[in-house]
Chains A and B, each alone.
Chain A
């Protein structure tokens, strides 16, 4: 079993839809949970990060962490064509470890 599992998609939704992106993980040592967005032929950029279980909201984006289920989610409300990108979850155990473990990424297309 891989440390981080993420459905690669592709996921295609109409403009205005609510999008749900998910990752599961197996290592309970992970403490920091991040979502990166990667446009085609660009480097990843940090979108959201959370430390504990619960929800964190930033504009149209909500990050959700459920440590008991080892499950993290990113919700995008009122999706826009400009949200079309690959979304990568990234996890870190903290405690002196600086390495990020990335999921494979989910490719999202928002159709106008």
Chain B
């Protein structure tokens, strides 16, 4: 089954304790992206990647890191989490190229992070 898998689904942790949210897709998609979703603000892009070892900042990258060592995986790293990073996080992936411009992004089930 084609899917984007995120782990963990839920996490409560404390300020300053490094954490990683994993994201894996089995559709051989080049493009992967991380979003956070907050009430009234919609989905905002944190980081994205267009291929292995190619990553770039989105609209709200501060406090986050990513890596893309393999095509299927795109982990989100919070080196020193703070309470303002409490949010619902989604990973998404899609095909790239002009032939696929109508192809949507596929989303994982989300990770709810609470930073105390």
Is the pairing of A and B real? no
Residues in A lying within 8 Å of B, measured CB to CB: none
Residues in B lying within 8 Å of A, measured CB to CB: none
